[in-house]
Amino acid sequence: MRHFDYKNGELYAENVPLRSIADKVGTPAYIYSTATFERHYSVFADSFSGIDALVAYSVKANSNIAILATLAKMGAGADVVSGGELARALVAGIPAHKIVFSGVGKTSAEMRDALKAGIRLFNVESLPELRLLNQTALSMNKIAPIAFRVNPDVTAGGHDKISTGKKENKFGIAWKHAQSAYAEAARLKGIKIVGVDVHIGSQIDDLAPFEKAIEKVGELIKRLRADGHTIQSFDIGGGLGIPYGDNNKTPPPPAEYGAMVKRLTASLDVEMIFEPGRMIAGNAGILLTKVLYVKEGEDRNFLIIDAAMNDLIRPALYDAYHDIEPVIAAGPNFTQETYDVVGPICESGDTFTKSREMPSLNDGDLVVLHSAGAYGAAQSSQYNTRPLIPEVLVSGDKYAVIRERPSVADILKTESIPDWL
């Protein structure tokens, strides 16, 4: 569910007309709905009522501290993959004991920060990382709680660039080496084994891969306990997809996912940890943009908007689909046009969609790209010296800018010319 609807022929975010935000904040801009974030979190968390569970929101999906604070008030934990994300989660009020640290390339400095904060656990992805974590913990007179991220070699579908659970992916301990990795961890004085972690991918629209992964890890937990290890938690990661409006298979609702997890883990006696990101944030945000020009090409028409691939890279990076709608609804006798929707960046890859049928639009019209709350602002850049765009959080009839648009002068202040020039 998303709280972006037409009222009297005009698109609103909750009770705020998008046109008023465009007038005050400018375009392009990301607009988020508090009500959608809250609903999505509640629906997901409620699907695990009755079992011991931690919902650790995946910060990389949308890392703005206002979003993290919104979820912290609802009881969310955090899954972080860098020292910067750890700092964001703590500043936003997420307790350290609800934070798990994932990622294949943790540095000693990041480990120190996490150990100092007292996070819940590290999801360790390799033996070299395990050994460095042990050394770092011992140097601080601390014990690092860990779960190994194991790679179950489960194909989960979706784009190759967001697949993480196959043996050729860089993530996790190879399945055949899992028990020996736990054996080594048990011998290290700075390490405490507490669980098992698995994450098979993103934008998954079928429960079958999750079921296969849970069954495999369930058997591994039994073997690890037989080896003498204490396994208290099972982190199943995230990955549940969302509808983007491209008429592909609709992902299963969280209630079905939760019922499956409960059924398959009932006999394991573990705390379940979940790391949803896209499912919480994706449909809670839109990209608001303005038509700069309607250009008639030789064999197609181009809708040139003021947003670009540096603002939302998903279409260029993943061939991702986003619904596109005008802010002012088309009248009853509107004409349909076919457009390539493109941005101003000097690359042909700066294309949001090709041959999209839409109501006829004119220079200056406002449009929105839906389902942009996850991996939109978080992946944005200042390519072409285009300033990062504002992020705006709406709550009811109120809104606030939660990330300002820097000026070009602000960007240039971060650079300098050497004295020999």
What's the Cα-to-Cα distance from 249 to each of 105, 243, 272, 412, rounded to whole Å? 34, 8, 27, 45
Nearest of 193, 153, 190, 191 to residue 173 by alpha carbon: 153
Q: CA nearest 2: which of 312, 352, 369, 402?
A: 369
- Nearest CA to 257 out of 67, 53, 68 is that of 53
Phi and psi for 6 in degrees, rounded to 5?
-80, 135
Q: What is the DSSP string of 310-362?
A: TT--HHHHH-----EEESBPP-TTPPEEEEEEE-SSSSTT-EEEEEEEEE---
- Which residue carries 């779960």 as its tokens? 147
Strand duo 4-7 + 10-13: pairing: antiparallel
Q: Whole-angstrom Cα distance, residue 95 to residue 259?
A: 28
Closest to 377 in 3D by CA, of 104, 63, 163, 144: 63
Q: Please give the backbone phi and psi of residue 342, each rounded to the nearest 5 degrees, phi first.
A: -135, 165
Active site members: 346
**Tally of CB atoms within 10 A around 111:** 24
